Amino acid sequence: MPLLYSSTFLLYRPPSTAPTTNRHFPPQRPATCPSSSLRRRFASARKPLLPPLPLRSAGVFRHPNLQCSSSSSSSVSMSAEEEPTSTSQRGEQLQSGFLYSRAFWVSESIIAWNVDVGNGSCYLFASKTAALSCSSDGILGEDIKVKLEEDKHGLPENVKENFPHIKDYRAFNVPPDLDAKPLLKCQLAVATFDANGRCSDATGLQLPGILDELFSYNGPLGALYSEESVSLYLWAPTAQEVCVCIYKEPLGGGNPQEVVQLEEVNGVWSTKGPKSWEGCYYVYEVSVYHPSTLKIEKCYANDPYARGLSSDGRRTLLVNLDSDDIKPEGWDKLAYEKPDIISFSDISIYELHIRDFSCHCSANDQTVHSEFRGGYLAFTLQDSAGAFHLKKLSNAGITHVHLLPAFQFAGVDDEKENWKNVDFKILEKFAPDSDEQQALITAIQNDDGYNWGYNPVLWGVPKGSYASNANGTYRAIEFRKMVQALNRYGLRVVLDAVYNHLSESGPFSVNSVLDKIVPGYYLRRNTDGFIENSTCVNNTASEHFMVERLIVDDLLHWAVDYKVDGFRFDLMGHIMRRTMVKAKDALCSLTKERDGVDGSSIYMYGEGWDFGEVANNGRGINASQSNLRGTGIGSFNDRIRDAILGGSPFGHPLQQGFVTGLLLQPNGHDHGPESVAKHMLAESKDHIQVGMAANLRDFVLTDYEGKEVKGAEVLTYGGTPVAYTLSPTETINYVSAHDNETLFDIVALKGIPFFHAGDELLRSKSLDRDSYNSGDWFNRLDFTYSSNNWGVGLPPKEKNEHSWPLMKPRLADPSFKPQKSHILAALENFSNLLRIRYSSPLFRLRTANAIQERVRFHNTGPSLVPGVIVMSIEDGHEGVPGLSQLDPMSVTSTDEIVKRSTYDASSGCFTVPPRTTSVFVEPRRV
């Protein structure tokens, strides 16, 4: 099974039962193309332009003489007893209904709405100028009004399947001869009227269903380049007008050198410009109705398929990534140089933040030139301490480096001269348990150069702050050089993909893009019409066709244009399973000969947490842990993490687990009576054993009660199955990651400090549980191995203040701080772990059958010795018919504690030191 190591050790993410909802974002932040080689495969047929409004309609009745009244059908409606004292008040109440979008135009012929019309009637209204209003005269300002008839059969099954959250809504039929396409460019509303003709309810509409039915599109998007011209394509079916503003310069507020109006064909706007546009910048001007303002807005937005940006991220760069000028030497042949991956079961992943690796703020490390610090080019320095460290890990067995987000994200200015900094010499003067460091860091945290990057603006462009110059083509060239350098270290590159949400929304926010192009489509909305924010802010809706297409196109772009070797999906459970499978199939279809990429070697994995509006398949079958079995897509195994460490990242910080002293070395935390702690330890052992057997649903083992059970029959503390996979490549076993405390820090909280095993550098963030915006000071990595960054002050108040009383005495205690010898020993132990993993294919079995046949757990049942896991992996020999011999291995260790492990053949007893993993090999003749 793949293993994931962070630049701390084996990885973390929130469990399915308690996800974070505000991670990575400062509270004051506003919530608001296919690759060039693949684009050539698209072809679009020119169709006649749509006729302009005024609109043709069927069953149209204009300006009814209707009175606003009341109903109990929605939260903005009123019962007869609550009826306002004046018709104007009634109109104001109903007018507020336009702020909501509680009805759904789910197909060309059906509108779904949770309203009981009774003996009354229902109408659809459209206004090209967004002039709809409700007064004593009824609904006013419409260009057309169409009567809708309720379908007593309800919503058809395909609609219920596509929109499970509204499956119980009533269905209203749209007249079959109504030309719906031009109406979708208008302000739309539906309203009900009682038998006396008085308006009783009104609301706006959500349009993704009908947009997908009428405007799903597989042709070219973004900028396409030929020898003579540059063509632009934008999918914007609800826009009334689209222009492109061409600029020569990346910055400045001057007038564009050219403004060109695009032409529309069936929802796609396009234009062809001269070859001289290449190297220029552009912005789209989109005139479109926006449901958040109830107005036709003139929105200025980057291209959703942007492949380059200006340094402020406000203009899209016309950059042809196929140009030889943007390719490092040997780039086109890189696919043939990449380190071999025979099976995904052989993968070991090392998670790393670009700035953590390359900033090198330690005074002990001057091996990175100042102009390369914090950026892509630091990876190209062959003689830096960081490069030496990565090569060491590669030689030991690490196969992939997972880079935290490297696309264009909000929260860090691309212009380095705008950053604010704190002098580290000042911070170093404060006590290890002082609150002074965090106060100074927090004061500038939104204006410095540090952020994890989980607040996407544009997915398809490398982040400008990591480039030596964010303007022009530097970021593209330097990102490619980084990938090339890592590949030549023997490491493949995984990109952190954050498709579950966007940084901003609305028609005016500077970092809003998709919500300006097709408002209300790209972002998932609740049944009132407001944007879902369960992932953080601005959840995206991959269940919509063109959102899914954008995600798949973006993955292909990174794979082909940047030769990325894998993708880790942030909050993958908020993406539909169908999208993930479609993406996997598309990537697997890439070939070295045609695309310069071996798509079969690209690995996909992510966070399969099941929560929020998508929980229990609330928006369709999502890419949660349990839904991904059989796909070959990996998901993080929080079960083994929590069993090893104890509790969860959201429980009490002193809750102990299997390796942090539960029962056997109590830390003073109240775990209940000894019998309860013993039961918890035994359950944790079962959870870990299931994880060690690849988290396979059908793996059979003996549990702590002595029962023979399958992995899926072992339950978590919440009652859900521990095991959820059908193959070993579908689980990522880990214990810590960028989120929450490092492994060293969590052990320092839960148990006595020790230096025998843990993070490969015993990395600390001074107990910071969420360092996404804590700056370089708390996130420092020292590749000279002189310090692990423990005791650099109390971590920032926002996420940690409640635990400061626990932290202060530990940070102040010098015995907790490791010396260089401890760090070097931990690194050697980490390397030994990798060497053991790669010493035999028995540790990397590739199929569920092989694991079931060869893996056994001992010391099980009611008589087990607490706190001890005994696992055997059977190689073939003459005593086991039908089981082939995979490897006659031998294992050695440089760790003196491990060497104390012994086996007495006469008694059959093993002796292993505490908190130690030892591998014993029984030599056999074939």
702-729: burial string, b at 16+ Cβ within 10 Å, e else = bbbeeeebebbbbebbeebbbbbbbbbb
- Sign of the dihedral through C-alpha 472, 474, 475, 481: positive
- Asked if the bond preceding 54 is cis, omega within 30° of 0, the reply is yes
Residues in contact with 472: Cβ distance below 8 Å, sequence separation at least 6, in sequence order: 250, 308, 317
Alpha helix stretches (DSSP H) within 498-566: 514-517, 545-561
Of 41, 45, 39, residue with least CA distance to 222: 39
**Positions of E strands within 81-180:** 103-107, 110-113, 121-127, 133-135, 138-140, 144-151, 170-173
Are the C-beta atoms of residues 559 and 599 closer than 8 Å to each other?
A: yes
Number of H helices, E strands in the chain: 22, 35
What is the C-alpha separation between 176 and 59, in angstroms, rounded? 10
What is the C-alpha separation between 103 and 110, in angstroms, rounded? 11
The answer to whether residue 570 is catalytic is yes
Structure tokens at 593: 């000969």
Are the C-beta atoms of residues 338 and 551 closer than 8 Å to each other?
A: no
Structure tokens at 796: 């920032």
From residue 445, how far is each of 361, 498, 796, 913, 924 by CA, in Å? 16, 22, 10, 44, 60
Distance from the Cα of residue 217 to its chain's centroid: 25
Q: How far does the chain reach from its first CA to its final CA, in angstroms?
A: 27
The answer to whether residue 686 is catalytic is no
**Taking the CB of residue 350, how many other CB atoms lie within 10 A of it?**
23
From residue 922, how far is each of 497, 877, 887, 891 by CA, in Å? 44, 11, 12, 11
Instruction: Identify the active-site residue in 561, 607, 613, 642.
Output: 607
Name the maximum alpha-carbon separation found in the chain: 101
The one-character DSSP state at 339 is P
Residues in contact with 152: Cβ distance below 8 Å, sequence separation at least 6, in sequence order: none
Are the C-beta atoms of residues 562 and 554 closer than 8 Å to each other?
A: no
Beta bridge partners of 731: 635
Among left, alpha and beta (phi > 0; psi -120 to 50; other), residue 789 is left
What is the C-alpha separation between 694 and 850, in angstroms, rounded? 11
Instruction: Identify the active-site residue in 570, 610, 741, 770.
Output: 570
What is the C-alpha separation between 166 and 613, in angstroms, rounded? 12
* DSSP calls for 431-444: -TT-SHHHHHHHHH
Give the residue numbers annotated as catalytic, written as ranges.
Answer: 570, 607
